[in-house]
Amino acid sequence: MTEFIENYGGTTVVAVIIAIILFFAVRKIVKDKKSGKNCSCGCEGCAYKDNCHKN
């Protein structure tokens, strides 16, 4: 086990950090989408913006 940690410890730490960053990025995208902040179609100028993307 010690040999494994010596050989792959740095790689494992980097992979965990990348996974954490990815988790928070996806979480923010989902939260923004649910709250209506993340609209790629330019809804701010749309006459139907209040009814667009309701889930």
Quote the pLDDT of residue 23: 98
End-to-end CA distance of the chain: 49
pTM: 0.62
Collect all residues with Cβ–Cβ distance below 8 Å to 29 and sequence separation of at least 6. Answer: 38
Written as six digits, the tokens of 33 are: 């989408």
Quote the pLDDT of residue 30: 87
Collect all residues with Cβ–Cβ distance below 8 Å to 46 and sequence separation of at least 6. Answer: 52
Please list the pLDDT of the chain residue by residue as tens digits (55 residues): 889 889 999 999 999 999 999 999 999 988 877 876 655 666 666 776 677 665 4
Q: Which amino acid is at 13?
A: V
